[in-house]
Amino acid sequence: MPGQGDLKGHGGPVKSVATSPDGVGIVSGSFDYSMMYWDVADAANPALRKRFSDHDGAVNAVAVLPDGRHAVTGSDDGMVRLLDLKTGAVEHVFEGHDLKVVDLAVSPDGKLVVSASWDRTLRIWSLAERRLLHVLKGHRNTVNAAVFSTDGQFIYSTGTDAAIRKWKVSDGSEQRVVYRNGWGINVLAALPGGRELAFGALNGTAAVLDIESGEIAHQLAQRDRPILSVAMSAEHKVLAFGGGDGIVSVHDMNDWTPVKLLDNPYGPIWALTFAGDGDTLYLGGLDDTVHYWQFRPGRDFEPARGKFPRRFQADEGLSVGERQFARKCSVCHTLSPDDANRAGPTLYGVFGREAGTLPGYPYSKALLDSDIVWNAETIGKLFEKGPQHLVPGTKMPLQKMSNAEERDAMIAWLKEKTKSLPGQATE
Ligand code: HEC
């Protein structure tokens, strides 16, 4: 059946996925500000176990601890959270990065987590002591990825400065630059045995690097678009890369032969993880679904049937106002009573509504404390200079609509649209 086994529930693009050590739990982070925990023991009938929506921004990175019970998440809001997958509790919030956190790695013993951030630093946090241990400074630009060495003594990191750097975990000192690439590097994996790293770069290169010599040991792929994701199963000796071109390639780590190639109809692959017995992959990207793909034995990918993700819909023929809403708001807001798990509250009935009053939605304190009532004027103000100006501290992203004509058209359309819904209060 097409799409069987897919994980459906996110209200925005999927940015990160990871598998629990037993191979039957999946965690997924999304642009919708939430992380979801799925039970995939019965792969054909996955079950959503928990939804965490405490971050104030997209969830870019997720990892499950070796105990299988806890997970860590990293977000656009700069925070790293330690979560209990069983109870749903937020056990700790690690605060310190100045900009978004884009990758996380947990040490092999499960005691430490390292976070990679666009603030050009990495931070090593003690999960047991719940505190910052070291700030790793040296990258000249945004840091995109980090991994622990297989023995847990070192961290390798990389980013837009195209350098792979090696750090000592015990004191956070930089050891050396292991490799310099011609292009920024997006993803890293530490291969079993401790002597090699796999990386994927902005210019589409996917390769295996010998750490000691700094030489490329195997060139695995050269694509036209950036490599955006990597997954590895040390146990099952498989490595996979996902790219901006929508291609997922699976490689056999014994002899580096290609195992399988997938051309994903939904576009870029932002997130990848192996599950089960290393014969299945879960992949995430632009559409809101985490897609299930059993690639061994040679099963074809089965695209989900049904409505095509809204971000692929052509918007020609729409009025100016509707087009503005489709492009700038619809990824985070519905106009129907159901918010569809999107990042923001539904705007159903928003005209005349007091800010921050929709039951059940986790508003920021800033919006809860404001005494704004939404109408054409206040929504106009919200986007004339950007939400941060009207409501400092809101978790709505920085976004302006400086073109007054487009802004007014969008507001008029929104008002009309919400007015035409039956049985709701309008201004
Ligand atoms: C990336 C996601 C995102 C985008 C894009 C976005 N919003 Fe929001 N919006 C949010 C979030 C999150 C909140 C809740 C803010 C808070 O609690 O501080 C919000 C809150 C709101 C509110 C207040 C609702 C209430 O119940 O008080 C309005 C009005 C709103 N958005 C309108 C818009 C419009 C119009 C656009 C397009 C021009 C837009 N938003 C684009 C995420 C988004």
| Tens digit of each residue's pLDDT (9 = 90 or more) over 126-150 | 999 999 999 999 999 999 999 999 9
| Letter string b/e over residues 258-295, b meaning 16 or more CB atoms within 10 A of that residue's CB | ebbebebebbbbbbbbbbbebbbbbbbbbbbbbbbbbb
Same domain, 156 and 209: yes
Does one domain contain both 370 and 245?
no
Cβ neighbour number for residue 77 with a 10 Å cutoff: 21
CATH of residue 111's domain is: 2.130.10.10
**Ligand 1 atom nearest 343 alpha carbon:** 12
Q: What is the pLDDT of residue 350?
A: 94
Q: How far is Cα 299 from Cα 282, in angstroms, rounded to an integer?
A: 14
Residue 235: what pLDDT? Answer: 92
Look at ligand 1, atom 36, and give the residue with the nearest C-alpha.
329
Measured from the CB, is residue 58 less than 6 Å from ligand 1?
A: no
**CATH code for the domain of 372:** 1.10.760.10
The CB of 379 under 6 Å from ligand 1? The reply is: yes
Residue 297 has what pLDDT? 76
Residue with the smallest CA separation from ligand 1 atom 26 is: 356
Whether residue 38 lies inside any domain: the answer is yes
Based on the domain organization, do 118 and 201 belong to the same domain? yes
**What's the domain range around 46?**
14-294
Same domain, yes or no, for 322 and 282? Answer: no
The atom number, within ligand 1, closest to the CA of 31 reads 1
Nearest to 3 by CA among 291, 272, 202, 204: 291
* Distance from residue 396's CA to the centre of ligand 1 (Å): 5
CA of 379 to the centre of ligand 1 (A): 10
Q: Are residues 90 and 162 in the same domain?
A: yes
Q: Are residues 269 and 360 in the same domain?
A: no
**Does the Cβ of 202 fall within 6 Å of ligand 1?**
no
Tell me the HSE value of 241 on the side-chain side, using a 13 A CA sphere. Answer: 31
Whether residues 66 and 204 share a domain: the answer is yes
Residue 1 lies in a domain: no
Whether 232 and 318 share a structural domain: no
Ligand 1 pocket check for 409: Cβ under 6 Å = no
pLDDT tens for 275-297 read: 988 999 999 999 899 999 998 87
- Cβ–ligand 1 distance for 292 under 6 Å, the answer no
Token representation of residue 361: 């939605």
Do 245 and 354 fall within a single domain? no
Is residue 396 within 6 Å of ligand 1 at its C-beta? yes
Answer whether 395 contacts ligand 1 (Cβ < 6 A).
Answer: yes
Please report the pLDDT score of residue 425 as a whole number: 46
Q: Which residues of the chain have pLDDT under 70?
A: 1-2, 298-315, 420-427
- Contact in structure between 256 and 218 (CB atoms under 8 Å): yes
Is the CB of 66 within 6 Å of ligand 1? no
d(CA 210, CA 217): 6
335, 342, 396, 418: residue to mutate for ligand 1 pocket, most atoms within 8 A of CB: 396
Structure-token pair, residue 380? 């106009």
Ligand 1 atom closest to the CA of 355, numbered from 1:
27
Question: Which of 238, 266, 294 finishes a domain?
Answer: 294
Q: Which of 190, 184, 200 is nearest to 151 (CA)?
A: 190
* Euclidean distance between CA atoms 123 and 45, whole angstroms: 38
Q: Distance between CA 97 and CA 124 in Å, rounded?
A: 11
Type of residue found at 86: K
Q: Among residues 109, 97, 90, 116, which one has the least CA distance to residue 35?
A: 90
User: Same domain for 352 and 266?
Assistant: no
Q: What pLDDT was estimated at residue 427?
A: 37
> Which residue reads 């056999």 in tokens?
252
- 78/181 same-domain check: yes
Same domain for 233 and 335, yes or no, is: no
Structure tokens at 134: 């070291």
Residue 36 lies in a domain: yes
Q: How many domains does the chain fold into?
A: 2
CA distance 249 to 235: 18
Residue 4 lies in a domain: no
Is this model's pTM higher than 0.85 or not? Answer: yes
